[in-house]
Structure 1
Amino acid sequence: MSDLLSPFFGQRVEVQNDALLLGGAMLSLAVPWGVAVIAGTGSIVVALDVDKDGKVVQAARRGGHGYLLGDDGSAYDIGRCAIRAAVHAYDAGEETSGLADKIRAHFGVNETGELLGKVHALDLTVDPVTATNAQKLRISSLAREVLTAFAASPPDPLAVTAVEEAIAPLATSVVCVAKQMAARPLPDGSARSFANAALIMGGGVIRQDAYRSVFLKVCKDAGVEFGHLAVVDDVGGKGALGLVDRAKRARGAAT
Protein backbone atom coordinates (compact mmCIF):
# COMPACT_ATOMS: atom_id res chain seq x y z
CA MET A 1 0.00 0.00 0.00
CA SER A 2 2.86 2.38 0.83
CA ASP A 3 4.42 1.74 -2.58
CA LEU A 4 1.13 2.47 -4.32
CA LEU A 5 0.38 5.70 -2.44
CA SER A 6 3.82 7.27 -2.18
CA PRO A 7 4.09 8.46 -5.84
CA PHE A 8 0.90 10.52 -5.43
CA PHE A 9 2.40 12.46 -2.51
CA GLY A 10 5.93 12.84 -3.82
CA GLN A 11 7.38 11.28 -0.69
CA ARG A 12 7.33 8.04 1.25
CA VAL A 13 3.90 7.44 2.80
CA GLU A 14 3.60 5.15 5.81
CA VAL A 15 0.45 3.07 6.17
CA GLN A 16 -0.30 2.36 9.83
CA ASN A 17 -3.01 0.81 11.96
CA ASP A 18 -5.67 3.41 12.78
CA ALA A 19 -5.05 2.75 16.48
CA LEU A 20 -1.89 4.81 16.04
CA LEU A 21 -4.08 7.91 15.67
CA LEU A 22 -5.00 7.53 19.33
CA GLY A 23 -1.43 8.58 20.01
CA GLY A 24 -2.65 12.11 19.42
CA ALA A 25 -4.04 11.99 22.94
CA MET A 26 -0.56 11.11 24.23
CA LEU A 27 0.86 14.14 22.47
CA SER A 28 -1.81 16.37 23.98
CA LEU A 29 -1.17 14.93 27.44
CA ALA A 30 2.62 15.24 26.94
CA VAL A 31 3.29 11.72 28.25
CA PRO A 32 6.16 9.59 26.92
CA TRP A 33 4.29 6.34 26.45
CA GLY A 34 0.93 4.68 26.68
CA VAL A 35 -1.41 1.93 25.61
CA ALA A 36 -4.20 2.49 23.11
CA VAL A 37 -7.22 0.20 23.07
CA ILE A 38 -9.99 0.25 20.49
CA ALA A 39 -13.17 -1.65 21.28
CA GLY A 40 -15.91 -1.07 18.76
CA THR A 41 -17.07 -3.44 16.04
CA GLY A 42 -13.66 -5.08 16.47
CA SER A 43 -10.82 -4.55 18.94
CA ILE A 44 -7.06 -4.10 19.18
CA VAL A 45 -4.49 -3.11 21.80
CA VAL A 46 -1.25 -1.32 20.90
CA ALA A 47 1.59 0.08 22.99
CA LEU A 48 2.80 3.49 21.88
CA ASP A 49 6.05 5.38 22.48
CA VAL A 50 6.99 8.96 21.72
CA ASP A 51 10.44 8.71 20.13
CA LYS A 52 13.30 11.22 20.39
CA ASP A 53 11.87 13.18 17.45
CA GLY A 54 8.48 13.50 19.13
CA LYS A 55 6.85 11.00 16.79
CA VAL A 56 4.35 8.42 18.07
CA VAL A 57 5.49 4.92 17.17
CA GLN A 58 3.98 1.52 17.79
CA ALA A 59 6.09 -0.51 20.20
CA ALA A 60 3.90 -3.61 20.70
CA ARG A 61 0.46 -4.90 19.85
CA ARG A 62 -2.01 -7.58 20.78
CA GLY A 63 -5.22 -8.52 19.00
CA GLY A 64 -6.75 -6.95 15.93
CA HIS A 65 -6.90 -10.31 14.19
CA GLY A 66 -10.57 -10.27 13.24
CA TYR A 67 -13.62 -11.87 14.77
CA LEU A 68 -12.51 -15.47 14.19
CA LEU A 69 -9.21 -15.12 16.07
CA GLY A 70 -9.65 -12.02 18.19
CA ASP A 71 -11.81 -8.92 18.62
CA ASP A 72 -12.08 -9.61 22.34
CA GLY A 73 -14.41 -7.22 24.12
CA SER A 74 -15.84 -5.88 20.86
CA ALA A 75 -19.47 -5.50 19.84
CA TYR A 76 -19.26 -8.84 18.06
CA ASP A 77 -17.75 -10.50 21.12
CA ILE A 78 -20.41 -9.04 23.42
CA GLY A 79 -23.16 -10.33 21.12
CA ARG A 80 -21.55 -13.76 20.91
CA CYS A 81 -21.12 -13.97 24.69
CA ALA A 82 -24.74 -12.90 25.25
CA ILE A 83 -26.06 -15.58 22.91
CA ARG A 84 -23.88 -18.17 24.60
CA ALA A 85 -25.06 -17.08 28.08
CA ALA A 86 -28.69 -17.34 26.97
CA VAL A 87 -28.16 -20.79 25.46
CA HIS A 88 -26.30 -22.02 28.56
CA ALA A 89 -29.15 -20.82 30.78
CA TYR A 90 -31.68 -22.51 28.50
CA ASP A 91 -29.72 -25.78 28.52
CA ALA A 92 -29.59 -25.64 32.32
CA GLY A 93 -33.36 -25.34 32.45
CA GLU A 94 -33.25 -21.84 33.89
CA GLU A 95 -36.18 -19.53 33.25
CA THR A 96 -34.87 -16.50 31.39
CA SER A 97 -36.53 -13.25 30.42
CA GLY A 98 -35.34 -9.67 30.06
CA LEU A 99 -32.28 -9.78 27.82
CA ALA A 100 -33.11 -13.31 26.70
CA ASP A 101 -36.40 -11.97 25.32
CA LYS A 102 -34.48 -9.27 23.45
CA ILE A 103 -32.10 -11.84 21.99
CA ARG A 104 -34.95 -14.04 20.78
CA ALA A 105 -36.68 -11.02 19.23
CA HIS A 106 -33.42 -9.92 17.60
CA PHE A 107 -33.15 -13.23 15.76
CA GLY A 108 -36.87 -13.64 15.20
CA VAL A 109 -37.39 -16.84 17.18
CA ASN A 110 -39.85 -17.82 19.89
CA GLU A 111 -37.66 -20.28 21.79
CA THR A 112 -34.03 -19.94 22.90
CA GLY A 113 -33.39 -23.41 21.53
CA GLU A 114 -33.99 -22.03 18.02
CA LEU A 115 -31.15 -19.51 18.32
CA LEU A 116 -28.35 -21.81 17.19
CA GLY A 117 -29.96 -22.42 13.81
CA LYS A 118 -30.40 -18.68 13.27
CA VAL A 119 -26.90 -17.77 14.45
CA HIS A 120 -25.20 -20.27 12.16
CA ALA A 121 -27.46 -19.71 9.15
CA LEU A 122 -25.94 -18.16 6.02
CA ASP A 123 -27.90 -16.52 3.21
CA LEU A 124 -27.20 -18.84 0.29
CA THR A 125 -28.73 -16.40 -2.22
CA VAL A 126 -25.70 -14.07 -2.00
CA ASP A 127 -21.97 -14.53 -2.33
CA PRO A 128 -20.05 -16.03 0.65
CA VAL A 129 -18.39 -12.76 1.67
CA THR A 130 -21.68 -10.87 1.79
CA ALA A 131 -23.37 -13.73 3.64
CA THR A 132 -20.57 -13.93 6.22
CA ASN A 133 -20.57 -10.18 6.78
CA ALA A 134 -24.35 -10.20 7.28
CA GLN A 135 -24.02 -13.02 9.81
CA LYS A 136 -21.32 -11.09 11.70
CA LEU A 137 -23.44 -7.93 11.69
CA ARG A 138 -26.45 -9.80 13.12
CA ILE A 139 -24.33 -10.83 16.09
CA SER A 140 -22.46 -7.55 16.62
CA SER A 141 -25.63 -5.43 16.36
CA LEU A 142 -26.97 -7.29 19.39
CA ALA A 143 -24.35 -5.51 21.53
CA ARG A 144 -26.51 -2.39 21.85
CA GLU A 145 -29.26 -4.33 23.60
CA VAL A 146 -26.72 -6.12 25.82
CA LEU A 147 -24.98 -2.90 26.89
CA THR A 148 -28.32 -1.24 27.62
CA ALA A 149 -29.33 -4.18 29.81
CA PHE A 150 -25.91 -4.12 31.47
CA ALA A 151 -26.20 -0.43 32.34
CA ALA A 152 -29.74 -0.82 33.72
CA SER A 153 -30.46 -0.69 37.45
CA PRO A 154 -30.37 -3.44 38.40
CA PRO A 155 -28.36 -4.90 35.50
CA ASP A 156 -29.68 -7.94 33.69
CA PRO A 157 -27.84 -11.08 34.92
CA LEU A 158 -27.30 -12.41 31.40
CA ALA A 159 -25.88 -9.05 30.35
CA VAL A 160 -23.49 -9.05 33.31
CA THR A 161 -22.27 -12.52 32.38
CA ALA A 162 -21.81 -11.58 28.73
CA VAL A 163 -20.07 -8.24 29.26
CA GLU A 164 -17.73 -9.48 31.97
CA GLU A 165 -16.83 -12.50 29.85
CA ALA A 166 -16.11 -10.26 26.85
CA ILE A 167 -14.11 -7.71 28.87
CA ALA A 168 -11.79 -10.21 30.57
CA PRO A 169 -9.53 -11.13 27.60
CA LEU A 170 -9.39 -7.54 26.32
CA ALA A 171 -8.32 -6.27 29.74
CA THR A 172 -5.79 -9.11 29.91
CA SER A 173 -4.31 -7.89 26.62
CA VAL A 174 -3.93 -4.36 28.00
CA VAL A 175 -2.34 -5.68 31.20
CA CYS A 176 0.07 -7.94 29.31
CA VAL A 177 1.15 -5.21 26.90
CA ALA A 178 1.51 -2.63 29.69
CA LYS A 179 3.63 -4.91 31.85
CA GLN A 180 5.71 -5.92 28.84
CA MET A 181 6.43 -2.26 28.12
CA ALA A 182 7.04 -1.36 31.77
CA ALA A 183 9.99 -3.77 31.80
CA ARG A 184 11.69 -1.82 29.00
CA PRO A 185 13.37 1.59 29.24
CA LEU A 186 11.87 4.54 27.41
CA PRO A 187 13.48 5.56 24.11
CA ASP A 188 15.63 8.09 26.01
CA GLY A 189 16.85 5.36 28.37
CA SER A 190 14.86 6.44 31.42
CA ALA A 191 12.61 4.09 33.39
CA ARG A 192 8.93 3.74 32.68
CA SER A 193 6.16 3.89 35.22
CA PHE A 194 2.42 3.57 34.93
CA ALA A 195 2.15 7.01 36.52
CA ASN A 196 3.72 8.62 33.45
CA ALA A 197 1.70 6.56 30.97
CA ALA A 198 -1.70 7.06 29.37
CA LEU A 199 -4.45 4.62 28.54
CA ILE A 200 -6.24 5.92 25.48
CA MET A 201 -9.60 4.37 24.70
CA GLY A 202 -11.57 4.58 21.48
CA GLY A 203 -14.49 2.80 19.88
CA GLY A 204 -18.21 2.80 20.47
CA VAL A 205 -18.15 -0.03 23.03
CA ILE A 206 -15.44 1.19 25.37
CA ARG A 207 -16.91 4.69 25.35
CA GLN A 208 -19.88 3.28 27.28
CA ASP A 209 -19.49 4.29 30.93
CA ALA A 210 -20.71 1.04 32.50
CA TYR A 211 -18.49 -1.08 30.26
CA ARG A 212 -15.45 1.15 30.77
CA SER A 213 -15.86 1.15 34.55
CA VAL A 214 -15.66 -2.65 34.69
CA PHE A 215 -12.81 -2.71 32.17
CA LEU A 216 -10.68 -0.31 34.23
CA LYS A 217 -11.41 -2.24 37.43
CA VAL A 218 -10.25 -5.50 35.86
CA CYS A 219 -7.00 -3.80 34.78
CA LYS A 220 -6.51 -2.27 38.24
CA ASP A 221 -7.15 -5.59 39.98
CA ALA A 222 -4.42 -7.08 37.78
CA GLY A 223 -1.96 -4.44 38.97
CA VAL A 224 -2.13 -1.94 36.10
CA GLU A 225 -3.46 1.55 36.77
CA PHE A 226 -2.48 4.32 34.38
CA GLY A 227 -1.66 7.84 35.52
CA HIS A 228 -3.63 9.35 32.64
CA LEU A 229 -6.87 8.27 30.97
CA ALA A 230 -8.34 9.58 27.74
CA VAL A 231 -11.57 8.60 25.99
CA VAL A 232 -11.48 9.56 22.32
CA ASP A 233 -14.63 10.16 20.30
CA ASP A 234 -13.07 11.58 17.13
CA VAL A 235 -9.96 9.49 16.45
CA GLY A 236 -8.83 11.44 13.38
CA GLY A 237 -9.49 14.77 15.04
CA LYS A 238 -7.57 13.78 18.18
CA GLY A 239 -4.63 12.71 16.03
CA ALA A 240 -4.57 16.11 14.34
CA LEU A 241 -4.93 18.01 17.63
CA GLY A 242 -2.09 16.02 19.12
CA LEU A 243 0.19 17.12 16.30
CA VAL A 244 -0.87 20.73 16.88
CA ASP A 245 -0.11 20.46 20.60
CA ARG A 246 3.29 18.93 19.86
CA ALA A 247 4.11 21.74 17.44
CA LYS A 248 3.11 24.38 20.03
CA ARG A 249 5.42 22.84 22.64
CA ALA A 250 8.25 22.65 20.12
CA ARG A 251 7.85 26.35 19.27
CA GLY A 252 7.73 27.22 22.96
CA ALA A 253 10.92 25.30 23.64
CA ALA A 254 12.68 27.04 20.75
CA THR A 255 11.94 30.56 22.09
Structure 2
Amino acid sequence: MLRRDVFLGIDGGGTHSTAIAVDLEGNVLAKVIGESINYYSLGMKRARHHLIQIMDQILEKVKIESFESVYIGNSALSQEATAAMIDEFTSGIIKSGSVYMHSDSYIALIAMTIGKPGILIISGTGSMGIAKGLTDELLNIGGWGYLLGDYGSAYHIALQGIQAAVAAEEGMSKATMLKEALKRYFAALDMRDLIDKFYNPPLDRHIIAGFASEVAKCAEQSDEVALKLVKQAAHDLANHALELEKRLNIQGVPIGASGSVFTKNNYIFDEFKGLLEQNCPFSAVRLIDFPPEFGAIFACFHENKILLEPSIQQRMKLTYELLKEE
Protein backbone atom coordinates (compact mmCIF):
# COMPACT_ATOMS: atom_id res chain seq x y z
CA MET A 1 0.00 0.00 0.00
CA LEU A 2 1.13 3.58 -0.69
CA ARG A 3 2.31 5.83 2.14
CA ARG A 4 0.87 9.33 2.08
CA ASP A 5 -0.24 11.96 4.57
CA VAL A 6 -3.99 11.39 4.85
CA PHE A 7 -6.22 12.75 7.58
CA LEU A 8 -9.51 11.26 8.74
CA GLY A 9 -12.52 13.17 10.01
CA ILE A 10 -15.57 11.41 11.45
CA ASP A 11 -18.96 12.90 12.26
CA GLY A 12 -20.48 10.40 14.68
CA GLY A 13 -24.09 11.50 14.94
CA GLY A 14 -26.91 9.91 16.87
CA THR A 15 -28.36 8.12 13.82
CA HIS A 16 -25.39 7.50 11.52
CA SER A 17 -21.72 8.37 11.07
CA THR A 18 -19.91 9.96 8.13
CA ALA A 19 -16.17 9.62 7.62
CA ILE A 20 -14.00 11.41 5.06
CA ALA A 21 -10.33 10.95 4.21
CA VAL A 22 -8.52 14.11 3.09
CA ASP A 23 -4.95 14.80 1.98
CA LEU A 24 -2.81 17.87 2.74
CA GLU A 25 -4.02 19.68 -0.38
CA GLY A 26 -7.66 19.30 0.63
CA ASN A 27 -8.61 16.52 -1.77
CA VAL A 28 -11.43 14.41 -0.31
CA LEU A 29 -10.20 10.95 -1.27
CA ALA A 30 -13.04 8.84 0.11
CA LYS A 31 -16.27 9.01 2.04
CA VAL A 32 -18.01 6.31 4.08
CA ILE A 33 -21.40 6.39 5.76
CA GLY A 34 -21.78 3.98 8.65
CA GLU A 35 -23.85 3.41 11.75
CA SER A 36 -23.81 5.47 14.92
CA ILE A 37 -20.75 5.33 17.19
CA ASN A 38 -22.49 6.83 20.23
CA TYR A 39 -21.23 4.47 22.94
CA TYR A 40 -23.60 5.85 25.57
CA SER A 41 -26.75 4.94 23.66
CA LEU A 42 -25.38 1.79 22.00
CA GLY A 43 -22.90 0.51 24.54
CA MET A 44 -19.13 0.45 24.02
CA LYS A 45 -18.98 -2.97 22.37
CA ARG A 46 -21.54 -2.16 19.68
CA ALA A 47 -20.13 1.33 19.06
CA ARG A 48 -16.61 -0.09 18.61
CA HIS A 49 -18.01 -2.67 16.17
CA HIS A 50 -19.53 0.14 14.10
CA LEU A 51 -16.20 2.00 14.20
CA ILE A 52 -14.39 -1.11 12.95
CA GLN A 53 -16.79 -1.31 10.00
CA ILE A 54 -16.20 2.36 9.15
CA MET A 55 -12.41 2.01 9.38
CA ASP A 56 -12.33 -1.16 7.27
CA GLN A 57 -14.31 0.55 4.51
CA ILE A 58 -12.39 3.84 4.46
CA LEU A 59 -8.97 2.14 4.52
CA GLU A 60 -10.02 -0.10 1.65
CA LYS A 61 -11.14 2.91 -0.39
CA VAL A 62 -8.02 5.00 0.24
CA LYS A 63 -5.62 2.02 -0.06
CA ILE A 64 -3.45 2.95 2.93
CA GLU A 65 -2.60 1.20 6.19
CA SER A 66 -2.82 4.15 8.59
CA PHE A 67 -3.71 7.83 8.88
CA GLU A 68 -1.50 10.75 9.75
CA SER A 69 -4.11 12.02 12.24
CA VAL A 70 -7.76 11.38 13.09
CA TYR A 71 -10.42 13.65 14.59
CA ILE A 72 -13.77 12.23 15.73
CA GLY A 73 -16.91 14.16 16.59
CA ASN A 74 -19.01 11.86 18.77
CA SER A 75 -22.60 12.47 19.85
CA ALA A 76 -21.80 10.64 23.10
CA LEU A 77 -19.76 13.65 24.22
CA SER A 78 -20.46 17.19 25.37
CA GLN A 79 -16.79 18.15 25.75
CA GLU A 80 -13.32 17.08 24.63
CA ALA A 81 -12.58 13.43 25.36
CA THR A 82 -9.83 12.40 27.76
CA ALA A 83 -6.90 10.33 26.53
CA ALA A 84 -8.29 7.38 28.52
CA MET A 85 -11.69 7.62 26.82
CA ILE A 86 -10.12 7.89 23.37
CA ASP A 87 -8.03 4.82 24.10
CA GLU A 88 -11.00 2.83 25.41
CA PHE A 89 -13.02 3.61 22.29
CA THR A 90 -10.40 3.44 19.52
CA SER A 91 -7.63 1.16 20.82
CA GLY A 92 -6.85 -1.64 18.36
CA ILE A 93 -9.13 -0.12 15.73
CA ILE A 94 -7.56 3.14 14.53
CA LYS A 95 -3.98 3.20 13.27
CA SER A 96 -2.84 6.81 13.35
CA GLY A 97 -0.10 9.08 14.64
CA SER A 98 -2.69 10.91 16.76
CA VAL A 99 -6.39 10.64 17.57
CA TYR A 100 -8.60 13.43 18.92
CA MET A 101 -12.26 13.28 19.94
CA HIS A 102 -14.83 15.92 20.86
CA SER A 103 -18.60 16.27 20.57
CA ASP A 104 -20.35 16.09 17.21
CA SER A 105 -21.76 19.55 17.93
CA TYR A 106 -18.23 20.93 18.31
CA ILE A 107 -17.08 19.77 14.88
CA ALA A 108 -20.30 21.14 13.34
CA LEU A 109 -19.54 24.51 14.97
CA ILE A 110 -15.97 24.42 13.64
CA ALA A 111 -17.31 23.61 10.16
CA MET A 112 -19.36 26.80 10.38
CA THR A 113 -17.00 29.22 12.12
CA ILE A 114 -13.49 27.75 11.52
CA GLY A 115 -12.68 28.77 15.09
CA LYS A 116 -14.21 32.25 15.06
CA PRO A 117 -17.12 33.38 17.30
CA GLY A 118 -20.50 31.95 16.34
CA ILE A 119 -23.66 30.16 17.42
CA LEU A 120 -24.87 26.88 15.95
CA ILE A 121 -28.25 25.28 16.53
CA ILE A 122 -28.46 21.61 15.61
CA SER A 123 -31.72 19.73 15.19
CA GLY A 124 -31.81 16.19 13.91
CA THR A 125 -33.09 13.22 15.89
CA GLY A 126 -32.11 15.28 18.95
CA SER A 127 -31.44 18.99 19.39
CA MET A 128 -28.92 21.29 21.04
CA GLY A 129 -27.03 24.53 20.63
CA ILE A 130 -23.34 25.37 20.93
CA ALA A 131 -21.52 28.69 20.83
CA LYS A 132 -17.98 30.04 20.89
CA GLY A 133 -16.99 33.58 21.81
CA LEU A 134 -13.64 35.35 21.74
CA THR A 135 -11.99 32.66 23.87
CA ASP A 136 -11.85 28.87 23.48
CA GLU A 137 -14.63 28.42 26.05
CA LEU A 138 -17.69 26.66 24.64
CA LEU A 139 -21.27 27.34 25.69
CA ASN A 140 -23.93 24.64 25.36
CA ILE A 141 -27.69 24.49 25.59
CA GLY A 142 -30.06 21.55 25.14
CA GLY A 143 -28.73 18.09 24.34
CA TRP A 144 -30.68 16.52 27.20
CA GLY A 145 -31.82 13.51 25.18
CA TYR A 146 -35.24 12.35 24.12
CA LEU A 147 -36.48 11.65 27.66
CA LEU A 148 -35.43 14.93 29.27
CA GLY A 149 -35.92 17.46 26.51
CA ASP A 150 -34.65 17.79 22.94
CA TYR A 151 -37.24 20.47 22.20
CA GLY A 152 -37.54 21.24 18.51
CA SER A 153 -35.92 17.95 17.51
CA ALA A 154 -37.30 15.52 14.94
CA TYR A 155 -38.17 13.06 17.69
CA HIS A 156 -40.00 15.71 19.71
CA ILE A 157 -41.94 16.96 16.67
CA ALA A 158 -42.79 13.40 15.59
CA LEU A 159 -43.93 12.28 19.03
CA GLN A 160 -46.16 15.31 19.43
CA GLY A 161 -47.60 14.69 15.97
CA ILE A 162 -48.28 11.04 16.80
CA GLN A 163 -49.95 11.97 20.09
CA ALA A 164 -52.07 14.61 18.33
CA ALA A 165 -53.25 12.00 15.83
CA VAL A 166 -54.15 9.57 18.62
CA ALA A 167 -56.01 12.32 20.50
CA ALA A 168 -57.96 13.12 17.33
CA GLU A 169 -58.83 9.42 16.91
CA GLU A 170 -60.22 9.39 20.45
CA GLY A 171 -62.28 12.52 19.78
CA MET A 172 -60.32 14.38 22.44
CA SER A 173 -58.68 16.88 20.11
CA LYS A 174 -59.17 18.66 16.79
CA ALA A 175 -59.43 16.65 13.61
CA THR A 176 -56.12 16.59 11.79
CA MET A 177 -54.50 15.26 8.64
CA LEU A 178 -51.89 13.74 10.92
CA LYS A 179 -54.14 10.75 11.60
CA GLU A 180 -54.12 9.52 8.00
CA ALA A 181 -50.46 10.49 7.62
CA LEU A 182 -49.62 8.36 10.65
CA LYS A 183 -51.39 5.27 9.33
CA ARG A 184 -49.82 5.72 5.92
CA TYR A 185 -46.30 6.27 7.24
CA PHE A 186 -46.33 3.22 9.51
CA ALA A 187 -48.36 1.07 7.07
CA ALA A 188 -51.27 0.60 9.48
CA LEU A 189 -54.75 -0.17 8.18
CA ASP A 190 -56.33 0.93 11.44
CA MET A 191 -55.14 3.25 14.20
CA ARG A 192 -55.24 0.37 16.70
CA ASP A 193 -52.73 -1.50 14.53
CA LEU A 194 -50.18 1.07 15.65
CA ILE A 195 -50.05 -0.44 19.14
CA ASP A 196 -48.42 -3.62 17.84
CA LYS A 197 -46.13 -1.72 15.48
CA PHE A 198 -44.84 0.57 18.23
CA TYR A 199 -44.50 -1.91 21.09
CA ASN A 200 -43.87 -5.36 19.62
CA PRO A 201 -40.91 -5.00 19.55
CA PRO A 202 -40.42 -1.42 20.78
CA LEU A 203 -39.91 0.90 17.80
CA ASP A 204 -36.49 2.54 17.54
CA ARG A 205 -36.67 6.26 18.31
CA HIS A 206 -34.86 7.11 15.08
CA ILE A 207 -37.68 5.51 13.11
CA ILE A 208 -40.22 7.44 15.18
CA ALA A 209 -38.27 10.65 14.52
CA GLY A 210 -38.72 10.12 10.78
CA PHE A 211 -42.41 10.98 11.16
CA ALA A 212 -41.38 14.62 11.76
CA SER A 213 -41.16 15.08 7.98
CA GLU A 214 -44.82 14.01 7.69
CA VAL A 215 -45.81 16.55 10.35
CA ALA A 216 -44.04 19.22 8.28
CA LYS A 217 -45.85 18.09 5.11
CA CYS A 218 -49.20 18.38 6.87
CA ALA A 219 -48.21 21.87 8.05
CA GLU A 220 -47.39 22.86 4.47
CA GLN A 221 -50.93 21.80 3.55
CA SER A 222 -52.23 24.21 6.24
CA ASP A 223 -53.28 21.58 8.76
CA GLU A 224 -53.94 23.65 11.89
CA VAL A 225 -52.64 21.08 14.38
CA ALA A 226 -49.45 20.37 12.42
CA LEU A 227 -48.83 24.09 11.86
CA LYS A 228 -48.96 24.71 15.59
CA LEU A 229 -46.44 21.93 16.25
CA VAL A 230 -43.84 23.02 13.69
CA LYS A 231 -44.21 26.68 14.70
CA GLN A 232 -43.55 25.74 18.32
CA ALA A 233 -40.49 23.73 17.24
CA ALA A 234 -39.10 26.75 15.39
CA HIS A 235 -39.71 28.94 18.46
CA ASP A 236 -37.99 26.40 20.75
CA LEU A 237 -34.92 26.29 18.51
CA ALA A 238 -34.83 30.07 18.12
CA ASN A 239 -34.98 30.43 21.91
CA HIS A 240 -31.91 28.20 22.16
CA ALA A 241 -30.04 30.65 19.91
CA LEU A 242 -31.32 33.71 21.76
CA GLU A 243 -30.16 32.33 25.09
CA LEU A 244 -26.70 31.59 23.72
CA GLU A 245 -26.50 35.05 22.17
CA LYS A 246 -27.34 36.56 25.56
CA ARG A 247 -24.64 34.50 27.28
CA LEU A 248 -22.01 35.40 24.67
CA ASN A 249 -22.86 39.09 24.86
CA ILE A 250 -21.38 39.71 21.39
CA GLN A 251 -23.55 41.71 19.03
CA GLY A 252 -23.79 40.52 15.45
CA VAL A 253 -22.37 37.03 16.01
CA PRO A 254 -23.35 34.71 13.11
CA ILE A 255 -26.01 32.10 13.81
CA GLY A 256 -25.99 28.82 11.92
CA ALA A 257 -28.49 25.99 11.60
CA SER A 258 -27.64 22.35 10.99
CA GLY A 259 -29.49 19.03 10.94
CA SER A 260 -32.35 17.37 9.11
CA VAL A 261 -35.11 19.36 10.81
CA PHE A 262 -33.73 22.51 9.18
CA THR A 263 -32.53 21.09 5.88
CA LYS A 264 -35.65 19.02 5.13
CA ASN A 265 -38.30 21.43 6.43
CA ASN A 266 -38.27 24.86 4.81
CA TYR A 267 -41.14 26.10 6.97
CA ILE A 268 -39.27 25.45 10.21
CA PHE A 269 -36.05 27.07 9.02
CA ASP A 270 -37.87 30.10 7.60
CA GLU A 271 -39.79 30.58 10.85
CA PHE A 272 -36.58 30.10 12.88
CA LYS A 273 -34.70 32.60 10.71
CA GLY A 274 -37.51 35.15 10.85
CA LEU A 275 -37.68 35.04 14.64
CA LEU A 276 -33.94 35.55 14.98
CA GLU A 277 -33.78 38.35 12.44
CA GLN A 278 -36.39 40.19 14.50
CA ASN A 279 -34.51 39.70 17.76
CA CYS A 280 -30.89 39.74 16.52
CA PRO A 281 -30.97 42.20 13.60
CA PHE A 282 -27.18 42.38 13.29
CA SER A 283 -26.65 38.61 13.07
CA ALA A 284 -26.58 36.69 9.80
CA VAL A 285 -28.73 33.55 10.05
CA ARG A 286 -28.07 30.72 7.61
CA LEU A 287 -27.72 27.01 7.06
CA ILE A 288 -24.08 25.97 7.47
CA ASP A 289 -22.05 25.75 4.23
CA PHE A 290 -19.89 22.77 5.16
CA PRO A 291 -21.02 19.41 6.59
CA PRO A 292 -19.88 18.50 10.14
CA GLU A 293 -17.28 16.02 8.89
CA PHE A 294 -15.45 19.00 7.34
CA GLY A 295 -15.28 20.46 10.85
CA ALA A 296 -13.53 17.28 12.01
CA ILE A 297 -10.89 17.78 9.31
CA PHE A 298 -10.57 21.51 10.11
CA ALA A 299 -10.04 20.64 13.79
CA CYS A 300 -7.58 17.90 12.83
CA PHE A 301 -5.52 20.36 10.76
CA HIS A 302 -5.58 22.82 13.67
CA GLU A 303 -4.33 20.21 16.14
CA ASN A 304 -1.52 19.33 13.74
CA LYS A 305 -0.63 23.03 13.24
CA ILE A 306 -1.52 22.94 9.55
CA LEU A 307 -2.72 26.26 8.14
CA LEU A 308 -6.23 25.92 6.75
CA GLU A 309 -5.94 28.02 3.61
CA PRO A 310 -9.14 29.10 1.80
CA SER A 311 -7.91 27.12 -1.22
CA ILE A 312 -7.92 23.94 0.91
CA GLN A 313 -11.50 24.59 2.02
CA GLN A 314 -12.65 25.13 -1.54
CA ARG A 315 -10.84 22.04 -2.82
CA MET A 316 -12.50 19.98 -0.08
CA LYS A 317 -15.89 21.31 -1.11
CA LEU A 318 -15.27 20.62 -4.81
CA THR A 319 -13.86 17.11 -4.40
CA TYR A 320 -16.55 16.22 -1.83
CA GLU A 321 -19.24 17.15 -4.37
CA LEU A 322 -17.50 15.05 -7.02
CA LEU A 323 -17.59 12.03 -4.69
CA LYS A 324 -21.34 12.49 -4.23
CA GLU A 325 -21.82 12.30 -7.99
CA GLU A 326 -20.01 8.97 -8.33
Shared fold, TM over 0.5:
yes
Match of 1:172 in 2: 239
Q: Which has the higher contact order (CA 8 A, sep 6+)?
A: 1
Equivalent of 2:199 in 121, 135, 143: 121
- 1:62 deviates by 1.0
The match for 2:111 among 15, 24, 34 is 24
What is the aligned partner in structure 1 of residue 291 from structure 2? Answer: 234
- In structure 1, stretches of 5+ residues that fail to align are 52-56, 124-130, 183-191, 250-255
Q: Residue 248 of structure 1: which of 309, 314, 321 is its match?
A: 309
Residue 119 to residue 199, structure 1, CA distance change in 2 (3 Å): farther
Structure with bigger helix share is 1
Residues 226/236 of structure 1: CA separation in 2 closer, same or farther (3 Å cut) = farther
Within 5 Å, give how 1:169-208 maps onto structure 2.
Answer: 169-182=236-249, 192-193=250-251, 195=252, 197-207=253-263, 208=265
Where in structure 2 are there 5+ consecutive unaligned residues? 1-80, 311-326
* Greater fraction strand: 2
| In the alignment, structure 1 residue 143 sits paired with structure 2 residue 227 | no
1:85-104 matched pairs, under 5 angstroms = 85-92=164-171, 96-104=175-183
How many pairs does the alignment contain? 216
Secondary structure, in 3 states, of the residue corresponding to 1:71?
coil
| Secondary structure in structure 2 of the residue aligned to 1:155 | coil
Write the letter of the residue equivalent to 1:209: N
Alignment RMSD, CA only?
3.3
Secondary structure of 2:260's counterpart equals coil
Choose the corresponding residue for 2:155, options 50, 67, 76.
Answer: 76
Distance (whole Å) between structure 2 residues aligned to residue 89 and residue 218 of structure 1: 30
Residue 44 (str. 1) matches residue 128 (str. 2): yes
In the TM superposition, residue 135 of structure 1 has moved relative to its aligned partner by 3.6
Name 2:276's counterpart in structure 1.
219
Question: What's the TM-score once normalised by structure 1's chain length?
Answer: 0.69
Matched residues in 2 for 1:108 and 1:14: separation?
A: 43
1:157 aligns with 2:224: yes
Q: Distance in 2 between the 1:115 and 1:177 partners?
A: 43
Contact 1:78 1:166 in 2 (8 A): yes
1:97-144 CA-partner distances (Å, limit 9, x unpaired): 5332111333454565x3884586241xxxxxxx4xx34134212112
* Corresponding residue to 1:34 among 114, 118, 127: 118
Match of 1:61 in 2: 140
Shift of 1:228: 2.5
Offset at 1:71? 2.0
Q: d(CA) in 2 for partners of 1:239 and 1:65?
A: 23
Cα 1:225–1:68 change in 2 (3 A) is: farther
Contact kept in structure 2, 1:85 and 1:161, CA below 8 Å: no
Q: TM-score, normalised by structure 2?
A: 0.56
The share of aligned pairs that are identical, in percent, is 22
Q: What amino acid does structure 2 have at the position aligned with 1:163?
A: V
The secondary structure found in structure 1 opposite 2:308 is helix
Q: Match for residue 187 of structure 1?
A: none
Distance 1:59 1:90 in 2: 45
Measured in 2, the distance between the counterparts of 1:50 and 1:25 equals 15
- Contact in 2 for aligned 1:82/1:159 (Cα 8 Å): yes
| Higher deviation after alignment, 231-240 or 69-78 | 231-240
Counterpart Cα distance in 1 of 2:194 and 2:267: 29
Q: Quickly say closer, same or farther: Cα 1:14–1:160, change in 2 above 3 A.
A: same
CA separation of 1:108/1:9 partners in 2, compared to 1, >3 Å: closer, same or farther? closer
| Shift in Å, 1:8 | 5.8
8 A Cα contact 1:46 1:58, kept in partner: no
Q: Is the 8 A contact 1:42 1:67 kept in 2?
A: yes
Change (3 A) 1:18 1:225: farther
